[in-house]
Amino acid sequence: MKKKYSKEEINDYSKRIQSLMSNLDLSIGIGGLSRTCNVPQSKIRYWEQKGYIGCHKGDKNTNHRYPYSAVIKVELIKSFLDSGYTLAKAAEKASVFDETGSLLHRIARQRFESINVVDENTAVDMGPIKDDPEHHIMFVDEDGTLTAQIVKKD
């Protein structure tokens, strides 16, 4: 049985999540990237030196931080290398991801509006439809299955 939350609890939770999402810094150090992707740090440094992956460089006293999308890009490069491509070609093919790689992060930061309840199910409000601010895109959890719905906002 699902626990019922009051409208005030849901609103409070939504505000907290929205604040977190707008300030979210999804980055990883070289050690974490190496462990996550099972790629030696020396290869990551080499790929960075060649310009195949990028990082956020801090001042000289801080470690490099890689955007979360670097995990996917490193995995793509590995996959193409495993398929027989040269490193240069694998990196070129993986670079397509650069154009779309931050899309999920941008969606989370820019479109997440709130947590709601739709027909007694938890829903994530991803904001209004373009040119129709009364209707919002909601992802509704219906017993573990997510459905996308257009919902008229109260």
Per-residue pLDDT tens digits for 32-48: 999 999 999 999 999 99
Q: CA–CA distance from 69 to each of 27, 83, 120, 154 (Å)?
A: 8, 21, 35, 36
Taking alpha carbons only, the member of 139, 117, 144 closest to residue 126 is 139
Strand order in the sheet with 121-129: 114-118, 121-129, 132-142, 145-152
pLDDT, position 1: 42
134: confidence class by pLDDT, cuts 50, 70, 90: very high
Cut 0.85: pTM above it? no
> Would you say residue 111 has pLDDT above 80?
yes
**8 Å CB contact between 93 and 80:** yes
